[in-house]
Amino acid sequence: MQAWLAATVARALVGGSLGALAGLGAHTALATQKEPPLAMRCAEFAGAVLPPDLIALPSAGALIEGASMIGATAPGNQQGGEYCRITGRIKAVNASTPDIRFDLNLPRHWNGRALQVGGGGYNGVVVTGLGVMPFSPDRAPLAQGYATFGDDSGHVGDSSLAVFGLVDDAVTNFGYAHLKKTHDAALALIARAYGRPPQRMYFAGGSTGGREGYTVMQRYPDDYDGVIANSPALNFSGVRLMGVKIGQAEYATPGGFIPPALLEQVYQRTLAVCDRLDGVADGIVSDVAACREHEAEIIESLRCAGHAPSHDACLSEPQLATLAVLRDGLALPYKLAWDVTGYRGYNVFQGTHLTGALGLGHQAERLAVPTFFTNGYLFSQGNGYVRYFVTRDAGFDSLRFDPQHPGKYRAQLIALSHTIGAMNTDLARYMARGGKLITLQGLADEVISPNQTIAYRQALIDRFGVDEVDRFMRLYMVPGFQHGSGAFIPSVDLLGALDRWVTRGASPETLIATDIAAATNGRSRPLCRYPLFPRYTGKGNVNLASSFACAEPELWRSDGAGVAL
């Protein structure tokens, strides 16, 4: 915890600055006095005003709009215990900037730890911090005694809405400021509620929430003891520009659109060639490196050679070119923040199901406002980014935008990559303080390139050395796992693993994950530390993790995206 905040909290507990909170001042107790139970004090937080000096970044303070105890047997309470639910909003210095809405949950039986939970996409919806979560699937963190909190990142909308990009302060909040502001407000309230600050502060999230996890390590290393950052959108500008290039390949190039039936053909062909390379045909391409050696063979088997293209039989040259864009990634002739020069490609021909990335629409046309379902996640998100963040023109046609030669928009792209991106490898302060990091991502992720995440880890190794990186980071790349879906969807308690690492020094090694995909629910696999992957031992039940061993890829070479797998 930062020294200034520790001092502020200390003053608050003896009637200092937090005593100015409306509705709380009369109940501020001296350190020698016994505080009344949380259940008696919870409602008194309602209407309180946190002064700006409790929040390190510029703000107009925070207003607590609601506070009430939720009984253990209350309708809808699935937490397994009583807790105080606090809702509030952090006001901006500029009154025209949207508020940051936040929720904070204080369990009656507190374990002394706090967990900040990240958002997704373009955020816009308050993260409540309630219920089980992908990184804590068996029991909700709140039910385990964690104080949990989250926010909407400073605007109202949904994960696809990028209109807030027209407001500078809202972009700054989305990029990083909301994380610090909400952290500081929540920390002051936690200290007031329990009489002491948390012993441990964790952050956990996936996708945008994963980017936020890397952001807090890079920008606020003193605030956190451990981070779970899954499928992280580290190179936020890169993946959005990648989406624009994919949209141009599909909708601005004659014949470039690939209907869902053909995308299914690509997926099934990669399975036919690569599924058994890990020792067993189980619907999962685990040995991605070996599969990459068969890429040319797979492409040729999909190509329409000498006859007219069919909607469900083969791929035309423009369609193959679309897949090549996705595979090869994006190279830029200029540098974004932290010397980033592009975006790494995807494992297109190594068992990735592409319908989520490219859409489920059956017509080769772009909607005026592209949607995830019709035009795919990558293009719909990239389209909004170019319109609202980059050009600041809601009517701009993103198909006319050239990421390689952005002209007058180049400076804006670079500035945005610094505000929102999390590609800074200077984690020295976080590492020196003993901070820990766990990242899990699918090798078949069709939204956030797994190769971009791998490349970031390699950049850390280049900077600090593998031993130093291994002391604080664990990377688990999961075969068959996409962006929340896939042939294998791992269920594993990463929060427990992180907490044991931070508090007991028990570093996680191979973990065991249970598959929650509908068709194969219940089977298990080892989660191997990268670069290892699960290989079938040749005997035993193929649905049990004990029948697999973590193996090192025999083939170690650089792919088209320049990432060793």
Q: How far is CA 455 from the centre of its chain?
A: 16
Alpha helices in 89-235 (DSSP H): 168-172, 178-194, 208-219
Q: Which of 151, 483, 524, 547 is catalytic?
A: 483
Residue 344: half-sphere exposure toward Cβ, Cα within 13 Å: 26
What contacts 238, CB < 8 A, 6 or more positions away? 330, 336, 340, 342, 343, 417, 421, 452
Largest CA distance in the chain: 87
- CA–CA dist 68, 12 (Å, integer): 22
Three-state secondary structure call for residue 439? strand
Q: Quick check: is 184 catalytic?
A: no
- CA–CA dist 285, 348 (Å, integer): 12
Its sign, for the CA torsion 183, 69, 92, 60, is negative
Q: Quick check: is 515 catalytic?
A: no
Q: Which of 59, 136, 153, 207 is catalytic?
A: 207
Q: Quick check: is 483 catalytic?
A: yes
Which of these, 42, 43, 64, 60, lies nearest to 51 by C-alpha position?
60
Q: Tokens representing 285?
A: 């391409």
Question: In which residue are the tokens 């920008």 written?
Answer: 219
Contact in structure between 164 and 178 (CB atoms under 8 Å): no
- CA–CA dist 379, 426 (Å, integer): 31
Q: Which of 152, 223, 328, 445 is catalytic?
A: 445
* Cα dist from 239 to 232, 242, 371, 383, whole Å: 11, 5, 17, 11
Q: Tokens representing 306?
A: 């000498």
Q: Tokens representing 186?
A: 């929540």
Q: Position 222: which residue type?
A: D
Q: Tokens representing 471?
A: 């002391």
Q: Tokens representing 194?
A: 């329990």
Question: In which residue are the tokens 């297109």 written?
Answer: 348
**Residues marked as catalytic:** 207, 445, 483
